[in-house]
Structure 1
Amino acid sequence: MDLRFLASLTFLLGLFFANTIPAVRQVGVCYGRNGDNLPSAAETVELFKQRNIRRVRLYTPDHDVLDALRGSNIEVTLGLPNSYLQSVASSQSQANTWVQTNVMNYVNGVRFRYISVGNEVKISDSYAQFLVPAMINIDRAVLAAGLGGRIKISTAVDMGVLGESYPPSKGSFRGDVMVVMEPIIRFLVSKNSPLLLNLYTYFSYAGNKDQIRLDYALFTAPPGIVLDPPRSYQNLFDAMLDAMHSALERSGGGSLEVVVAETGWPTGGGIDTNIQNAGIYNNNLINHVKNGTPKRPGREIETYIFAMYDEDKKPTPPYVEKFWGLFYPNKQPKYAINFG
C-alpha cells in the first residue's frame, strides 16, 4: 500500500473519530469562600490544576477568583446572586453593567460556560417575580457583547420544585411553582440552554431514613431496588434526576439537558455524615455520571461536586451546612478522590 495514501487515510480516520466520539465531561467542583483560613484564590486555582479539576462553579463574581482563573483554561459557571435579581430585571443598563464588569472584563482570559441567574429562588421569595426578567436581560447583555452562543444563561433550582418524584416516571412540578417554572422552561428551550439542578441524595436520605436505604443513596445498592417499568433503579441519584426529566417532559421541556450544578455528601454535622460515606458517594458519583440515567442512558451528566472546602462561616443550624468540603484548608484532601 502506498505509504502516502496510508498516512492520509490515518489522518482522515483520526479526524473522523475526533469528531464523532463524544468528549468526556469531567466532573467539576463548587467553590465558595465562606470559611476561615482558606487558601487564596491563586492557591486554589493551582490546586484545581494539580487535581485535574477542569470545571468550577462560582456563586458570586469574586474578582480575586476570576483574576486567578485567567489563562487556566478552567470552565466557569458564574453566579448572579439573588440579591441582584430586582435591579438587573428592572434595568437593561444594570444588566449590561453587570456583564461588562464581571464577564467582559475577564472574557479574554477566563472560559465562561454558564451564567446562573439566581440560585434556588423560591416561589415565596419577594424577588421570585424578577427571576425570568433578569435572565432575559442578562441574555440580552451577553448577546450585545458578542458572546451569544458562547455563554449559556440559566438558573439553578432544587428538587423542592417537584410535587411528585416517586416513581421517577411520575415526576411533576408543584402547581404553585409553574408561574415561574413555565417561563424558565420556555426561555431555556428557546436558547437551547440547560436547566441547572441542585440534587442531594443526602437530604432525601436523612429526611426519610425509614423509606430510603443508605446504600441506595451512596450508589452501592444491588440493581433493581426501585422498579418503575420498563426501568429499574439502583441508586437514588438517577431516580431523582429522572424524576426531574419526567417533570420537564410534562411541561414542554423534554428537550432540555439537566446539569447537576450541586451534589455531594457531608463529612459531619448530620445523620451518617462521615469521611467514609462522603468518599464513597463522591468517588462513585464521578464514575457513575459517565453513563447517564435509565431514562437517558449513555448521555453523560455534567456534574459539580459541592464543595471545594468546608465553609465554617455559614449560619447554623443546620450544622451540616459547614461540612461539605473535599479539601482541608491546608489543601490536603479529606479522602482519596480522582477527577480523572
Structure 2
Amino acid sequence: MIFLFFLVLLIGLQTSVRAQTIGVCYGQVADNLPPKDQVIKLFQTKNFGRMRIFNPDQATLEALRGSNIELVIGVANEDIKSIANDISSANAWVQNNILKFSQDVKFKYIAVGNEIDPANNDQAQFVPLAMKNIDAALASANLKSQIKVSTVIYMGLLGSSYPPSAGAFNEASTSYMTQVVSFLVESGAPVLANVYPYFSYIGNMKDISLDYALFKQPGNNDAGYQNLFDAQLDAIYAALAKVGGSNLNIVVSESGWPSAGGDGASIENAGTFYTNLIAHVNGGKGTPAKPGQDIETYLFAMFDEYQKPGAETEKHFGLFHADQSPKYPI
C-alpha cells in the first residue's frame, strides 16, 4: 500500500511538471480586453502557469504580483539600441521593470527583441550587446541567477529547413546568430523561437498536408517526421549546431493557429492544432532529434487582437474571446 501511494504521488508530480510546460502569450493589441486582474485570474483558473508579455507594461506587472505565474518579459525592439549603447540605460530598464517587481513577480526570461531579421532591420547589430548589458544589469541587481536573458528568433532566419537535419541559417543571419549563440552558450540561457506550422503550411500547401501541420498524419514522412512542428523545431536545432550552439535548448516562445481570416484558418483547425500541440508537448517525448526532451511552449495567444496590423489572420489567434469565454474546449 505504501509503495502504491508513492507511485501515485510520483505520477501526480510528473503530470504537474508536464502541465507546467505550457504557457500562453498575453498580447494586448485591442481595446476590448478584460481588466488585467481578471486576465491573471483567468490564467490561474485555467492552470496556465507561464505567461509571455511583449513589453514591460507596468499595469500587467502590478497585476502579476503574488500570482506565482512565471513570466517571459520583452524588451521592445525600439529600445534595444539605447540599451546596447549605454549600460546606464540597461540598468534603468532592469531597475524599473524587473527589480521593482522582483519580490512578487516570478521573472523567468527577458527577451531582448522579437523576430529581428538582420537582413532588413538595423537593430540586429545591437542585440548581442544589449543582451550582455541587460545580463550585467541583472548581475548588479543580484538577479542574474534567477533570470535568463535571450532573444526571440523565427523560422524566416533559416536558409534551409528540410530535411530538418539540413537546417541552417541563411547567409544574412549567420553572423548575427553566431554572436547571439555565443552569448547564450556562455550564459546558459535557451534560444527563444517562434514556431508556426500554420505559416509554413499556407506558404507551401502543395507539398505540406493539413494533417501534417495539425499533428494528424498517421505515419512518418520520408524524413522520419510525423508532424511539422517537430520538423521545424529540429531544423532550428540543426541550424544552431552549425553556429556553435549544439548544446542549446529551445523554448518555443510562440506557436498557434488562427480561427479565421485566411486559408486553413477555422475554428475546427485551430482547436485541433491547440489540442494536439498541448498533448504533444505535455507527452514528454521530445522530437526525433531531441527524444525525451521537454519542449517548453507558449501558445499564441490568450485573446484575439483585432487592432493588430497585417494579414487578417493576425487578428484571430486567441484562445479566448474578449468576454473570457473559450473558443475551444481545451
Shorter-chain TM-score range: over 0.9
For 1:207 and 1:65, locate their aligned partners in 2 and report how far apart those are by CA, in whole Å.
35
Match of residue 34 from structure 1: 29
Q: Which amino acid in 2 is paired with 1:249?
A: A
Change (3 A) 1:21 1:312: closer
Does the aligned pair in 1 maintain the 2:21–2:295 contact within 8 Å?
Answer: no
Equivalent residue number for residue 294 of structure 2 = 300
Aligned with 2:235 (options 243, 254, 269): 243
**Match in the other structure for 2:156:** 160
Q: In 2, Cα distance between the equivalents of 1:126 and 1:31?
A: 27
CA distance in 2, matches of 1:176, 1:50: 44
Using the size of structure 1 for normalisation, the TM-score is: 0.91
Q: Is residue 282 of structure 2 the alignment partner of residue 282 of structure 1?
A: no
AA partner of residue 128 (structure 2): V
**1:78 matched to 2:73:** yes
The aligned amino acid for 2:137 is A
Q: For 1:230-269, what aligned pairs fall within 5 Å after superposition?
A: 232-269=224-261
1:49 and 1:10 map into 2 onto residues whose CA distance is 30
SS of alignment partner, residue 118 of structure 1: strand
Deviations, residues 285-327 of structure 1 (Å, cap 9, x unaligned): 01101321011111110000000001111123x1111110000
1:48-127 equivalences under 5 Å are 48-123=43-118, 124-127=120-123
Distance 2:195 2:59 in 1: 28
Match of 2:139 in 1: 143
* Partner Cα separation in structure 2 for residue 170 and residue 287 of structure 1: 27
**Structure 2 counterpart of 1:324:** 317
SS in 2 for 1:109: coil
Distance 1:93 1:267 in 2: 44
1:227 Cα deviation after fit: 2.2
Match of 1:3 in 2: none
What SS is found at the alignment partner of 2:81? helix
Question: What is the CA distance between 1:335 and its match in structure 2?
Answer: 1.1
User: What is the CA distance between 1:249 and its match in structure 2?
Assistant: 1.4
Task: Please state if 1:201 is matched with 2:197.
Answer: yes
Paired amino acid for 2:142: G
Structure with the greater alpha carbon radius of gyration:
1
Distance 1:21 1:33 in 2: 33
CA deviation vs aligned residue, 1:158-203 (integer Å, no higher than 9, x gap): 0011111000111111122112100100000001100000010000
Q: Which one-letter code corresponds to 1:159 in the other structure?
A: M
Q: Given the two structures, how large is their TM-score scaled by the length of structure 2?
A: 0.94
**Could you tell me the percent identity over the aligned residues?**
47
Q: Distance in 2 between matches of 1:169 and 1:280?
A: 27
Query: Equivalent residue of 1:277, what SS?
Result: helix
User: What residue in structure 1 maps to residue 309 of structure 2?
Assistant: 315
1:245 is paired with a residue whose SS is helix
In structure 2, what is the equivalent of residue 211 of structure 1?
207
Alpha-carbon distance in structure 2 between the residues aligned to 1:176 and 1:55: 33
- 8 A Cα contact 2:21 2:294, kept in partner: no
- Offset, 1:21: 6.4
Three-state SS of the structure 2 residue aligned to 1:310 is coil
User: Is 1:220–2:220 an aligned residue pair?
Assistant: no
Q: Distance in 1 between matches of 2:241 and 2:174?
A: 14
The 3-state SS of whatever aligns with 2:122 is coil
Q: Identify the residue that residue 192 of structure 1 maps to in structure 2.
A: 188
State the Cα distance separating 1:10 from its structure 2 match. 11
SS for the counterpart of 1:336 is: coil
